[in-house]
Structure formats: structure tokens, C-alpha cells
A and B are shown apart, each in its own frame.
Chain A
Amino acid sequence: MTIAFYTLAAFILALGVLVVSTKNTVHAVLFLVANFLCVAMLYVLLQAEFLAVIQVLVYAGGIVVLYLFVVMLVNLKRGPETHVDPRRRDRMGLLIGGAVLAEFVAILLYGFAPRATGAAPAAAAPGVGNVEQVGWSLYVDYLVPFEVASILLLVAMIGAIVLAKKEP
């Protein structure tokens, strides 16, 4: 189990690096898909089959296809923008990188800190599959946030359509 986990983790990290380092954008998208599939396998290892399947269905099978569409259709061989002060980008990168690093450190510290309450995640009740669990938490425990999120996405979608549509 542990071996499988670390192998997968290594794969995920390596693919993640490849996504940002490869020059061909289509290849990058492919690595991203592979990355998502590995994450799905990770979910299977954690016995969250539902989550794994949804991960494949929504991310690998749905969203990245749209990425691929965009990448294929839009000509990305544009030269670097010269009018921007190169220093500025460095500063921005430093800032964002710093922020992310701080976040990681915080997570690590939090993760290694001794738990006061020690409340382990509730073990699945026997006989209840993880579909039911996800259902309960989405539609009973967190119904309002869930609906708010969906409306937010709907608004974003309508906004995108309005923006993309040409003037009649």
C-alpha cells in the first residue's frame, strides 16, 4: 500500500513538472491527463472509488478535453511579449512563489503538529458505500454551500457566454 502510494505520488509530481516544463502545449495537456489519472488511482487506493471515477469523468474526460480543444485551435506560437519590463515578471514570480512556499510550509507545520483533538475522519459505516456518503455530505450537511457554488458556476458560465458572443 505504502509502496503504491509513493510510486503514484512520484508519478504525480513528475507529471506535474512535465506539464509546466514541456514546450509543446499539446504534450503538456497530455501529461496533465496522465497526472489526473494518477490522482484518480490515488483515490482508489484510499478506497474512494466514487471520487476516483468522478475525477476521471469530470477532469480527465471532460475539462481537459476542452483544454485540448483550445490548445489545438489557438495558435500559441506567438513570440514573447517584449514591451513588458522583464524585471516586473521576475518580481511577480518571486511574489507568487513566495506565497505558495509559505502556504506549503504552513500546511507542513499544520500536518506535523500534534493533533489536539485527534478526531480521525469518521470511518465509513458498514454497508454504506461512498456514493451515499458523498451524497449525504453534499445534499444534507453542506446543501447551502453546494447550491451557492453551483449558482456561482452558472453565473460564471453565463458571463462567459455573454462575453464571447459578438454584438448582434
Chain B
Amino acid sequence: MIETLVVPLVKIAVLLVGILTAVAYLVLLERKVQAWVQVRLGPMRVGPHGLLQPVADVIKLIIKEDITPARADRWVYTLAPIIVLVPALVVFAVIPFGPETNVFGIRMPLHVADINVGLLYIVSIASLGIYGTILGGWASNSKYPLLASLRASAQLVSYEVAVTMTLVSMILMAGSLSMVEIVESQQARGLWFVFAQPLAFFIYFVGGLAETNRAPFDLPEAEQELTGGFHTEYSGIRFALFFLAEYANMIVIAAVATTLFFGGWLRPFPSVAALGLLDIVPGWIWFLLKTFVLLYVFLWVRATLPRYRYDQLMRLGWKVLIPLAIANVIVTAIAVVVL
């Protein structure tokens, strides 16, 4: 009973709270990192060094007036933020944060579920989030959001192909779709897959930037062009849901990248016995650390690069990334068979 019902529920609760807190603080981190890059201080007023800013933000967003445009499609308008958020949170279920550990004498794997199609599950669930984006823009009954949501959907659909292709080559390497087994395969080989598949990682990362609408691919919410993007008409808590989903998706992309390319919970150089000292640090800390570094790169890129234009983005996706990804799959497949 405890094993089958209570433990998963507790894990889900811990995970949800953890993700939501992480998202709130990721927003703060983004503002801080951007400010530091731009020779500013960032939020400083709420709490020491603005550390309580997320709390203030959340309270503000919750108590703000929740506006529905007069001619909006009321149901779809309400549904859209939920459709965006739920997949972003649900995919965390299969991400292994660490190896099996003992917590109060209970053997507990540090993931909610290890299903044998884990990776595909992530891809398929993540692909549902796009509905919220499209419908949010459409239901607002406003031109800028509509334009933005069209951009968003075209962008997501095309970059999903490239990202999924890189995942295919990772599956070939690991010989499994299960996230846990992919990490274990890296352990067995004593090699983070990023060193075996640098190109795949590059494509995955660029595609990930595009899929999460991050700079330089933040066209769907290019405030300089579209005054805010598909959520222009949203306010208050519904806007917060969109916001939450975007950052949760960022964490997903980083966490999946960590699992697939950076050995998940493995310590650096897992094959070098001389570094055994590093095993003192528990696996989940390594995992979080790697995810954090990747997230930092997301923020760094945003502070540095200008934005692509819509057609250039499409060209990059279809004419560069997808052919590269397909070529990578073919080469990987040959290598796996031959070696």
C-alpha cells in the first residue's frame, strides 16, 4: 500500500512544489543574470538582493484583475493556459533525478515513473502544449495574438522534428527508450553521450531554444514586434500560467538534456576511478547542478543575441537542423551496427 500509493503521491507532491518553486526562482535568476550582463542590479527591493521577488510577483499576478476580452471565445480562452501548463508539468514524471536511494528505509527511485517508452512519452506529451499556444492566440480574438500563435505553432511543429530526430540517435546509442536505462547505459560505457554525440546535442539545444520560445527564437512573444505575443490579451493568473509553463518547459528541456547527454545523475568522468571522491555528492545534486548550468546557458544566450526573423527561423529549422539531424541519425545507426 505504502509502496504503490503513498510513495508516488508524496513524490508527485514534492516534485510539483519543487518545480513551481524552481520556476519562480528561475524567473528571478533570469532577471538577475540579464541584469548582471547588462550592468544593472536587477530586483533588489523585496528581500535581501530581491530574493523574495518571486513571492511578490506571484501575489501580484494572483490578485490582478482577470480580464477576458469581450469577443473572446470564453471557454477556449480559459482552457488555453491550462492546456499549456499541464503537459509542461506532467513530463517531469519520467525524469530520473537520481539513482535509487533509501529514504527512511524505503527503497525509492528518484523518479515518479519509469515507463519503457519514457522518451517518447516526453515528446508526445510535450507536443500537446502547442494547443494552448494556438488556442490562446485564437481565442483572444485579437490580431497580434493570432499572428503570434501562428508563428508559435509553425515554429514548434518544425523544430519538434529536428529535436525528435536527435532523440532518435540517442535512443540508438542507448538501445532503450527508458530514461533510467539511458542513464545506466552511459554509466556502463563510462561516457557522457554529449562527447559521443556533440552534433546531436547542438541540434537538440538549438531546437530546445526554439521550442521553448527562447531568444534568439522568441518570435511568438517578440514584444518589439507583436507587443507580447500569443498571451497579449491575458492578464492576472491566466497570464501567470503561460509564464509558468514557459519556464517549466525550459526546465524540462534542460533536464532532458542532462539525462540524455550529460549522464543524468552520474558524476563527471564516471569512468575515471581516481575521481571516486566525487561520489560523496549524491546523484540528484549532480543532476540539479547540470540542469542549472544548462539553464544558465539559456539565460546567457538570451542576453547576448538578437532575434531571428520568422522566415530565417524556418530556413534554419528545415534546411539546416533537420537535414543535419537526419544525417546524424544515419551515421549513428551505421556506427551502432558496425561497432
Contact = CB atoms under 8 A, between A and B. Distances in A.
Interface of A: 24, 26-27, 30, 33, 49-50, 53-54, 56-57, 60-62, 65-66, 68-69, 72-73, 129-131
Contact of A61 (B73, B79, B128, B135): B128
B204 interface: no
B314 interface: no
B121 A60 contact: no
**Main DSSP-derived SS at the B contact region:** helix
A56 B129 CA distance: 12
A26 B76 contact: yes
Interface in B30-74: 73
Interface string B165-206: 000000000000100000000000000000000000000000
Given A61-B128, A69-B153, A72-B134, A53 B120 contact: yes
Contact of A33 (B115, B117, B131): B131
B25 to A, nearest CB: 30
Contact of A65 (B79, B116, B123, B134): B134
B327 interface: no
A17 to B, nearest CB: 18
B120 A54 contact: yes
Given A53-B124, A62-B127, A129 B135 contact: no
**Main DSSP-derived SS at the A contact region:** helix
Contacts of A57: 120, 123-124, 127
B138 interface: yes
A130 B150 CA distance: 36
Contacts of A130: 116
A161 to B, nearest CB: 13
Given A30-B135, A65-B130, 8 more contacts: A27-B76, A49-B115, A53-B121, A61-B124, A72-B134, A72-B150, A130-B116, A131-B177
21 contacts: A30-B79, A49-B117, A49-B121, A53-B120, A54-B124, A56-B128, A57-B120, A61-B127, A65-B130, A65-B131, A65-B134, A65-B153, A65-B157, A68-B131, A69-B134, A69-B153, A72-B146, A129-B116, A130-B116, A131-B116, A131-B117
